[in-house]
Structure 1
Amino acid sequence: MTMVQALNAAMDEMLTRNGDVVVLGEDVGYFGGVFRCTEGLQRKHGRTRVFDTPITEAGIMGIAVGMAAYGLRPVAEMQFADYIYPACDQLISEAARLRYRSAGEFTAPVTVRAPYGGGIFGGQTHSQSPEAIFTHVAGIKTVIPSTPFDAKGLLISAIEDDDPVMFFEPKRLYNGPFEGYHDRPVVPWSRHPASEVPEGHYAIPLGKAATVRSGAAVTILAYGTMVHVALAAARDAQVDAEILDLRTLVPVDIEAIEASVRKTGRCVIVHEATRTGGFGAELSALVQEHCFHHLEAPIERVTGWDTPYPHAFEWEYFPGPARIAEALRRVMEE
């Protein structure tokens, strides 16, 4: 499966298993979504289970919060992560706090799906990576898959969770992993081991990282598209790097991070979002707090630039294998 197909399979499975699950958003019904993630779901499950909304992100989120409080499990699609900001008041002020301010009487089992990141030449309004904003909000879980297998299992877990989940989907991975150079071909998912997606129901627990490459010299922490770019960088730099795919940013798997960094003594953190205030800063602080006496070199971060998304310089903005390889060599020289 591609990641698009895996996400579709997850929603299909949950719509079939649980009558409280509904899917809503702009063009998710008859059209099947801009990226076709919901294709065929309305035809199979009906217009009361999978339905289109007006172009109003605040309205989509407000409707989803009300449905969740009523007892449903809405899966709300934001057509692009860049469009989510009008919905933030409903998500942050209402959904994230509902369990706490009702002393557990109500929950908000809302899953918010959002294609995020660059790679499609979408410019400043279709390419942002705002994950760090939501990791700062208590009560929201933040999930970012990097493979079709993980996408299905994590989305099922998100829909089954009783708290709101921000589910960011890397657009560059929808149809195959891109290694990070604009002149390198897309690797088809059909030739990738993580494209094997089981039929039926399976869930990947939120908060559990995956070791996608074992190594002893340095730990690379990454998520989403950057997992594949980090794999290319470790290969190109010929470094014995251990790569952790975090999969869930909140709750983050600090046990897996600690075990890996204590083993390697070095850490490089990679994400596509801008550097200042990015989630890499939180990861760096956690590594310093938990592994200080095991570190043999300063922690390195490889990130996007501290600028609005530069449409004309998209591939220079992305952390590519060359930039990551430079960071790997620096920490290895310490």
Structure 2
Amino acid sequence: MGDTSSIKDSPSLEICSPGAITIKPLHPTFGAEIIGVDFSVPLSEAIFRQLHAAIVKYGVVVFRATVLNDESHIAFAKQFGELDDVTPYTAAGRKHRLKYNELFDVSNVDMDGSILDPDTPRGQANRGNGLFHVDSSFNPRRAGYSLLLAHELPPSGMGGHTGFADTRTAFENLPEDLKEELVSKDYIACHSIYHSRKLAAPEFFADVDPERYPMGRHRLVQRHEASGRMNLYIAAHLHHIEGLEPEKSKALINRLLTAAEQPSNTIEILWKTVGDLVIWDNTCTMHRAVGGPFLQKYRRDMRRATVHDSSSQAWGLNEHTDIRQGMPWKKRLRGLESTTNTFS
């Protein structure tokens, strides 16, 4: 898929006032580029309200060539709410390459600054990022907004795009009988990071049983509170649906994921320059790393600030604890014991 800005059927530009920012829709149903925001100075309350309203409407927004650094990235993210951080992971022994615990490292860069070997445990685990997912649905408290900032990019044409799926429109476009079933049954979906990792790297994770670990429990269909629209809260992390036989559960999950991932519901964001920032709402979109030939040739340094969801559905049906999935655990590979080290 090409640059989303070339989509011919996109709606016309929106000019917002006060502040004269411009919103350029990237797709008929979701996604937009926001032009005219000066990140070199603190944002006014009026501008921030416009940005927030755009995210609610479009689900994912992109800003080009911002001047944000780690500190201003974190400060901007805090305007959206309470931040998640990597402290529970580092306290359990995981190493963190970045200076600030409020930033999650989603790069192909190893601790020593070299390009990550895809055959390492972390490289194998990162393959799961190539599946459509939402951030932290497997944890007790899910993610709301994610703010991903480019610090270093591979050359143009080498890949590294990020794909997004519109799960509000995906629900709206389901057959009426299926929508009625999903709403009336009020299914509970169970999410596991080990499940998605095993889907993406089945050989490496062959001896991992997701059912041995706690799962995040969330309603499969929810009302997206900020917009009032119904939404499919699904992801590659979705292991099973409570109350359904395994085969029926798997079939329904696959049907819903397939519907959400249709080309009519998806876009790709091309990262063009250092400073590009993409913000998405994990409660109404999925995303995935597209990959490409850059992976073993060029560094791609990407850092994500994650805002805890603050809606009434934030904790799903989970206990209010700080326990996280994906804590360091041991995996025997070719006779060597290695520690998985990945943030998702």
TM-score, normalised on structure 2? Answer: 0.28
Higher relative contact order (CA 8 A, sep 6+): 2
Which structure carries more helix by proportion? Answer: 1
From the two aligned structures, give the one with the greater strand fraction: 2
